[in-house]
């Protein structure tokens, strides 16, 4: 057995970029997590939209165990069957014809930007390198990703930033034709902004981006790192927006808890990435791909995706009930099993206190944008756990009410 550690050791040994909750999770099954004191938590967070099929799903456990007895790692000098099988699944179920595997979402975004710039460089002209991104975006934490995010809180102290990035207000049609122009290599967009609080792109906005990109031969990169893998009720969110990405970034839920990212694109675009022009030691790791293959096989089932929409309704109606009682939410937003409840600050509801209260009562939720409760449970969470979790949330919110 390894040496014992406690929560206080976090501050001693870890770089202080995180401030984890006081309890320490020990084990989990489905949508239940147990901490070191054997206290139970209902999981409405799924590790920030990662454990898409819950914790320790038996079929994923089996896929991991089986692969772990075969081969753990292969360099990209060798053909890797689990990666190849996974790529085939992506190509069968999406617009894609070619796949590149990374380890994380931010790396998928990096690879997507490199691909788009290389495409313009080779096929159009060497000066066409601008990337258009949007306000309140979240694309990860690498230098390029924080530059795309654009907000000061991600950037401060890390400059100089990579250049050639332009920002435009999300969902703002005005002047979009000035932002997207002949110099644009690509537009990178989350069709539903997760970290911003589950904000959907408006159809007219997406259509205008599509038109301008076509006019200027710019590529559309859709970042589905959080919105993908069935989260919004379709396998990928783009299916609901009348748009076909040129390049798509995936991660989080496609691995169900195993680190993996992927860049999906067409053959024509992929061809600009010649031998040796990009790579990753661990990208396409056989253990990760064997698990993701099973995740994707299960996620592509119609019944599962229909279940996401049904469970969304259950959540929305429960949240509306809570709101009717306490007027705690300014807005309830949802896109499949991805919900954002913007707190009514006028009524003095505080996000951190609610979150702590939920932990105390045995419920794990998420935050978004410092004013929104974000809910992103497993896509197969049982209805009875949804109702039980909402009951906890209700009582925590009730506990926040000031005596009149």
Ligand X SMILES: Cc1ncc(COP(=O)(O)O)c(C=O)c1O
| Positions in the binding site for ligand X (CB under 6 A) | 104-106, 109, 138-140, 190, 194-195, 223, 225-226, 251
**Closest approach of Cβ 223 to ligand X, in Å?**
5
Tell me the three state secondary structure of residue 214: helix
Cβ neighbours around 25 below 10 Å, total: 17
In this structure, what are the phi and psi dihedrals at residue 256, rounded to the nearest 5 degrees?
A: 60, 15
**Closest approach of Cβ 207 to ligand X, in Å?**
21
Residue closer to ligand X, measured from CB, 196 or 328? 196
Residues 6+ away with beta carbon under 8 Å from 215: none
**CA 236 to chain CA centroid, nearest Å:** 11
Name residue, tokens 């020990």. 26
Residue nearest to ligand X (CB): 105
Tell me the three state secondary structure of residue 270: helix
Q: Which of 163, 169, 134 is nearest to 149 (CA)?
A: 134
| CA–CA gap between residue 217 and residue 178 (Å, rounded) | 15
Residue closer to ligand X, measured from CB, 130 or 224? 224
Tell me the three state secondary structure of residue 259: coil
Neighbour-count burial of 402, counting CB atoms closer than 10 A to its CB (0-12 exposed, 13-18 middle, 19+ buried): exposed
Name residue, tokens 């997406």. 206
Residue closer to ligand X, measured from CB, 128 or 374? 374
Residue closer to ligand X, measured from CB, 231 or 294? 231
**Closest approach of Cβ 169 to ligand X, in Å?**
18
**Closest approach of Cβ 290 to ligand X, in Å?**
19
**Closest approach of Cβ 261 to ligand X, in Å?**
6
**Closest approach of Cβ 50 to ligand X, in Å?**
9
Residue closer to ligand X, measured from CB, 138 or 170? 138
Residue closer to ligand X, measured from CB, 169 or 395? 169
Contact 282, 103 (CB under 8 A): yes
């Amino acid at each position: 057995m390894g040496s014992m550690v406690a929560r206080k050791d976090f501050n001693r040994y870890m770089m202080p970029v995180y401030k984890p909750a006081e309890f320490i999770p020990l084990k989990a099954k489905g949508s239940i997590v147990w901490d070191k004191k054997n206290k139970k938590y209902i999981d409405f967070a799924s590790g920030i939209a990662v454990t898409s099929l819950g914790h320790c799903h038996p079929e994923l456990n089996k896929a991991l165990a089986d692969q772990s007895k075969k081969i753990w790692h292969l360099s990209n000098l060798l053909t890797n069957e689990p990666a190849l099988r996974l790529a085939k699944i992506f190509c069968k179920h999406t617009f894609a014809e070619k796949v590149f595997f990374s380890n994380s979402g931010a790396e998928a975004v990096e690879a997507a930007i490199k691909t788009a710039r290389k495409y313009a460089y080779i096929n159009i002209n060497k000066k066409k390198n601008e990337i258009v991104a949007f306000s309140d975006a979240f694309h990860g934490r690498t230098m390029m990703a924080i530059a795309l995010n654009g907000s000061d809180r991600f950037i401060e102290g890390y400059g100089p930033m990579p250049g050639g990035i332009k920002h435009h207000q999300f969902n703002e049609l005005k002047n979009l034709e000035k932002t997207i122009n002949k110099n644009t290599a690509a537009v990178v967009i989350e069709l539903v902004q997760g970290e911003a609080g589950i904000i959907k792109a408006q159809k007219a906005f997406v259509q205008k981006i599509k038109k301008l990109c076509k006019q200027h031969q710019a590529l559309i990169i859709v970042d589905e790192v959080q919105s993908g893998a069935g989260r919004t009720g379709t396998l990928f969110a783009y299916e609901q927006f009348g748009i076909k990405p040129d390049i798509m970034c995936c991660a989080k839920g496609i691995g169900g808890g195993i680190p993996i990212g992927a860049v999906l694109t067409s053959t024509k675009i992929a061809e600009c990435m010649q031998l040796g022009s990009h790579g990753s030691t661990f990208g396409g790791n056989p253990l990760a791909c064997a698990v993701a293959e099973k995740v994707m096989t299960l996620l592509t089932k119609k019944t599962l995706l229909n279940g996401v929409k049904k469970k969304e309704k259950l959540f929305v109606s429960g949240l509306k009930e809570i709101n009717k009682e306490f007027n705690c939410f300014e807005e309830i937003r949802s896109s499949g099993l991805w919900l954002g409840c913007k707190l009514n600050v006028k009524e003095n509801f505080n996000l951190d206190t609610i979150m702590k209260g939920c932990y105390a009562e045995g419920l794990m939720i998420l935050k978004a944008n410092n004013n929104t409760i974000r809910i992103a449970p497993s896509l197969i969470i049982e209805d009875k756990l949804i109702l039980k979790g909402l009951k906890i949330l209700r009582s925590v919110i009730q506990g926040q009410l000031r005596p009149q």
